[in-house]
Amino acid sequence: MKNIAITGGGTGGHLSIVRAVKEELNLRGMKPLFFGCDFGQDREWFEDDEGFCQKYFFDITSVVDKNFKGKLTSMSKILKSSVTVRKIFKEYDIEAVLSVGGYAAAPASIAAIFTGKEFYIHEQNAVMGRLNAIFAKRAKTVFSPYLESSPVKDYPVSDSFFQSARLRSELKTIIFLGGSQGATAINDFAKCVAKGLDQKGIKIIHQSGKRDFEALKKFYKQEGIDADLFDFHKNLHKKISEADFAICRAGAGTLWELVANQLPAMYIPYPYASNDHQFYNAKYLLDKRVSFLVRQNELSSNKLSMIFGSDLADMSEGLKGIISPEGAAKIVDFMNT
């Protein structure tokens, strides 16, 4: 087995890939290095994770959306951090580096390229991120479920979503997924349609995020709706497995977890996502006729008619097999060939 470093982060979509590959390496008796940054969610996810042999969080920021002076400062910090990474690579005899993207991946990616390490990229989204696009030509391969050229098209998803997968054939429960940070548009949509769902006897599960939790708690109480409301849940896969349909954003992590669980969804892409990548993530499933896709500015209560008029069982069955549970294992196997 090669000594492997994993780098990247910022959001749950990036970090879930890091975690999946790390867990697969742990199963094989290996602990990788991790390189992230002080911003985003990197520390929150991994600072106390003992599955890594060591973790490094650099004081770096993105060069995007800054003035000339700000770009120079950011680039200087990234290059300085890459020099530090080169020394760490030597200390741990690192042979291969996997980048999951995000500006947090910049120092280790640069160090990997300039020291001639085997360099791999995992792209989570249908539209390649800026950093991955810059470094893709220097990578040995790019893993992605969207790319025909990818040697591994199975997206790494926790086994818990596959293990609790089931065929949905009747709409009894809807889950609204606003994410741990909350998505106001989805929370507002839930309030718009909650009464109608309740009147139809459809149970509501709602992840609100912390920001809107108290307001939604008050709303459901006033409406007399017995919703299963929470801001965060450490075993979210259990809540997802209870649902027959989801209404959510189209971030890569969430989207592929629902695919693994065979849970049909109405995806509402975040309209300000870089390169509109959430739209194209969801469009990949829309084109397979296993999901719905609605722009945020088109949201209205009548959109629910699409759900009620759909063949839920056909959509759920169609999600089966799009990816397999061996995504992380296949990536680790490929990196060790």
C-alpha span between 16 and 235 (Å, rounded): 14
Q: How far apart are the first and last CA of the chain?
A: 9
Q: What is the pLDDT of residue 97?
A: 98
The secondary structure of 165-222, three-state, reads CCCCCCCCEEEEECCCCCCHHHHHHHHHHHHHHHHCCCEEEEECCCCCHHHHHHHHHH
Low-confidence ranges of the chain (pLDDT < 70): 179-182
How high is the pLDDT of residue 180?
Answer: 58
Q: Hey, which CATH number is domain 166-319, 3.40.50.11030, 3.40.50.720, 3.40.50.2000, 2.60.40.10? A: 3.40.50.2000
Quote the pLDDT of residue 274.
87
Domain with CATH 3.40.50.2000 in the chain: 4-159+325-335, 166-319
CATH fold of 4-159+325-335: Rossmann fold (3.40.50)
Contact by Cβ (8 Å): 100, 14: yes
Contact residues for 17 (Cβ-Cβ < 8 A; gap 6+): 8, 100, 122, 124, 156
**pLDDT at residue 33, rounded to an integer:** 98
Q: Residue 176 in contact with residue 192, Cβ under 8 Å? A: no
pLDDT tens digit sequence for 53-75 = 999 999 998 888 788 888 899 99
